[in-house]
């Protein structure tokens, strides 16, 4: 879970104060997939950068699993960011000289820990990229690169996923496939996922939609959810992505029930 309380960001240009982000209070609970939309320059990137612990807010608190990122040392902030956050970017940001299997364990090697090869193999099966294990990024399609990027972001089991325009470089079919996969992984693993996007078509797959204009964030209560259909039990969960559904049916131990309490 990630919580922002009265978070704002101001910049000074000469005698003028720019309110890049007006006071914002927001909670994204575990298991919720939310979208933030808005025009360029509206403050979306500022908000996402603050959520990721990469930018210090002018006021307010940013808490991940009850840890206040604004009150800890730089060293501890780096540790929290490294262990509790997963980033998915527009360009996938894969290391060009590493194969898919090596991309997956790169995070552990940087941390100086023993790579969890079992988890790597499980994620590769779950996201249908096992056949790509020995390939380099330049040999992958756009959709394949994004699936690898998602798997890499999940490898260290982060509490929060921050996705910055993750479908911008994909065609329509791959964009829908990617966002449905993100939604299902969010629901099944019980983590919070925040996606910044310009694509209005993607909000149908989200649990919550927020809009940003001139640094002010508001919740869009009129956004329609459930392109795949609402659940019959009325709880709002949508149908699973085909990849996740197939894996859950054949290997249910890879898709555990949604967790109510994440590890610290």
Over the stretch 66-112, which tens digit does the pLDDT of each residue have?
899 999 999 999 999 999 999 988 766 789 999 999 999 988 888 88
- Strand-strand pairing, 160-164 and 85-89: parallel
Q: What is the pLDDT of residues 215-230, one digit of tens each?
A: 999 999 886 554 453 4
**Residue 23 three-state SS:** strand
Buried b (16+ CB within 10 A) or exposed e, 25-54: ebebebbbbbbbbbeeebbbbbbbbbbbbe
Distances (CA, A) of 4 to 64, 220, 264: 9, 18, 18
Cα–Cα distance measured from residue 217 to residue 82, given in angstroms and rounded to the nearest whole number: 27
Measured between alpha carbons, how far is 261 from 92 in angstroms, rounded to an integer?
Answer: 29
Domain spans in the chain, listed from the N-terminal domain onward: 2-7+19-254
How would you class 264 by CB atoms within 10 Å of its CB: exposed for 0-12, middle for 13-18, buried for 19 or more?
Answer: exposed
| pLDDT attached to residue 223 | 67
The Cα 202–Cα 232 span in angstroms is: 22
Instruction: Catalogue the E-assigned strands of the chain.
Output: 2-13, 16-28, 33-37, 59-64, 67-68, 85-89, 160-164, 192-196, 208-213, 216-219
Residue 23 makes CB contacts below 8 A (sequence gap 6+) with 6, 7, 8, 59, 60
What's the predicted TM-score (pTM) here? Answer: 0.80
**Look-up: residue for tokens 């403050």?**
43
Select the CATH number that applies to the domain covering 2-7+19-254 from these four: 3.40.1410.10, 3.40.50.300, 3.90.730.10, 1.10.1740.10.
3.40.50.300
pLDDT value at residue 229: 39
Rounded to whole angstroms, the Cα distance separating 77 from 72 reads 6
Of the listed ranges 15-29, 146-160, 250-264, the one predicted with least confidence: 250-264
Of the listed ranges 28-37, 77-86, 191-200, 252-261, the one predicted with least confidence: 252-261
């Amino acid at each position: 879970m990630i919580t922002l309380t009265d978070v704002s960001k101001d910049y000074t240009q000469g005698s003028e104060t720019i309110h890049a982000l007006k006071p914002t209070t927001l909670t994204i609970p575990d298991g919720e997939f939310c979208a933030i939309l808005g025009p360029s320059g509206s403050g979306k990137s500022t908000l996402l950068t603050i959520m990721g612990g990469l930018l210090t807010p002018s006021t307010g608190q940013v808490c991940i699993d009850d840890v206040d990122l604004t009150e800890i040392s730089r060293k501890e902030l780096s540790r929290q960011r490294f262990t509790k956050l997963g980033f998915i970017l527009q360009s996938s940001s894969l290391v060009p000289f590493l194969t898919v299997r090596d991309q997956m364990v790169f995070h552990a090697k940087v941390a100086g820990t023993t790579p969890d090869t079992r988890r790597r193999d499980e994620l590769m099966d779950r996201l249908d990229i096992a056949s790509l294990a020995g390939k380099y990024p330049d040999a992958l399609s756009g959709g394949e690169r994004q699936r690898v990027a998602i798997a890499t972001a999940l490898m260290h089991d982060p509490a929060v996923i921050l996705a910055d325009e993750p479908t911008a470089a994909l065609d329509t079919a791959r964009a829908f496939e990617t966002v449905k996969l993100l939604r299902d992984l969010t629901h099944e693993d019980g983590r919070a996922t925040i996606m910044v996007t310009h694509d209005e078509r993607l909000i149908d797959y989200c649990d919550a939609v927020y809009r940003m204009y001139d640094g002010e964030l508001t919740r869009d209560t009129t956004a329609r959810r459930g392109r795949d259909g609402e659940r019959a039990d009325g709880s709002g969960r949508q149908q699973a992505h085909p990849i996740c559904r197939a894996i859950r049916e054949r290997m249910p131990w890879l898709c555990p029930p949604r967790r109510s309490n994440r590890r610290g």
